[in-house]
A and B are shown apart, each in its own frame.
Chain A
């Protein structure tokens, strides 16, 4: 069970309006991939960052399978490095100064990431091989295509043996035609995993392909859509289904997205 009950408040500043993130979610940590869907700026990324330990909520608590990662009242804040939560960044954030091999081995390397033990080298190569990119091991990230970067970044996150994998807009850095193909590829790769996945997206197509469960974000608050697959089946398209859900979520009087 992934239990997220937290708030983070940004006071209105000179440059922008304030933002209030209020998330109360209890998600199963089974194999099902969960999509967090919402417009840009609705708090999806911030929620993932809080879960991964890269941002600190103002109050509330976060726990996975009963293990508390954050608790404002008890002053608990486990640092990101001890959380074992894999994170795939929007444009993959591969270390530009390291080869693909050393990127993948980073989570298991010593003080200097360009020096790795023989067994870690083999393990990283196996991981690359699993994603069909072992031939790229000695290239640098700048020499990879978008799809190759995605595979390497997935290999890097999984090589650190996470208990949960977070994917932040996995396709936004790609051009549209490639996106179509890679979506199917990534679905295949994720289906083989034993690690639960949280995917955030503002693209209905992603919801269509990945969502076994759906969480809807709307201006800082989130709620899980109950029995999403059944609801989806009752609509002609994912788009129509999401439109209806968003209309219900939006406060009356606000302009509608669709």
Chain B
């Protein structure tokens, strides 16, 4: 009825304005005015009737349980049907998402060539890699003990069912403590020949409880990641869906085809196991930028929903993929995994051993020979790099992960639990004369005030200089330009800074993780630490339940 009232009011207003106007204007133009206003009035009335009918149809449709946002219900054809064009042929039955926003940060030092085996002696599992774990977990081994891969190392006292196990076999040589006696590293000196604890795999007809118990006991539960908040999933939670992105668009990220080659069977097995754990389905994000070269392990995977994503970074981020297929609402949770974690789970259920082999890309402009190496979870970074850092007089920044959302490490520290990349770039701790106005060295930027847009394929060396000082929010719209999600990052950040919970949730904080917002932080003219702010917001929302 509201629509009808509106129409009536509009018509009334139009006629009355016409009356007023015609009183003032000359006779000549009042005729035109009358007819044009009448025309507008008729159009508005027609529009109102059509919208009303359309809405009534939608109301009826939702009453009988049809999802009106997915299906094209109503008498008005959906505009997006005409605008989005046809799906490419390779997509077939799967969904296809072309993402126009984003930015590929092109850096030099991409890892290439065959995967090399490196000899790393020290490995560590760091409780700090698992968000939300209490600072002093219960360590069940002592220095001097020998462990096999898959033996328990520690567990969180809040959550004792989830056991964190050794990725390699060897001798426990250190349990390092940080501030307030918190445990930061449990270090294993690895055996030359690896030994694995052999588990008895649940039978094919095992219940979900048996499977989850097996995952918890073997330590594979820690490979799962729950969104929102990016935590190890609490016991008893059943995820709405499980998402796996099979490609990484982050700068210098490893090529998924290198990772998967030779392990296709385990990957498929892993997908089958994961399919039993969710009430929804397992979703696979496929690389739509170069569909012909995507490994058949991904394109031919069975029992999963496949989605193609074509676009710049962060199209490969699982958060973006979830947003475009089935966004996370508040109260829902989904699990996400990387390809290598799925392979580990597949191998656990095939062979009964926890195989934490990881293929890691060593990349970045500060490395003399960027390459792929085969190692295990938690390898010591110094040994992993093994002297390939260039000695050019500049300090190096070693990052476990990519330059956008990785963690800074020293050579004595260890690869992050879920990282498959180590990036080394130069520190930018130098003053630069008029560096803000006339930069001497090329630097990556989305701004067209740099000549970068003329050289789209240039690969930057890049350094860690902030290129300016922190300021208040000034520029608007630049975050949206690199975030292919229907989210307003700047306003979300302001809501977080203002502790406005309702607005945070309304603006979709539960859909985001640091890696999704990292590119926004990169482009920020005001140099605002967005990832830090987002995490504070996520912590607040999490603690409020």
Partners in one complex: no
List residues of A whose CB falls within 8 A of some B CB. none
List residues of B whose CB falls within 8 A of some A CB. none
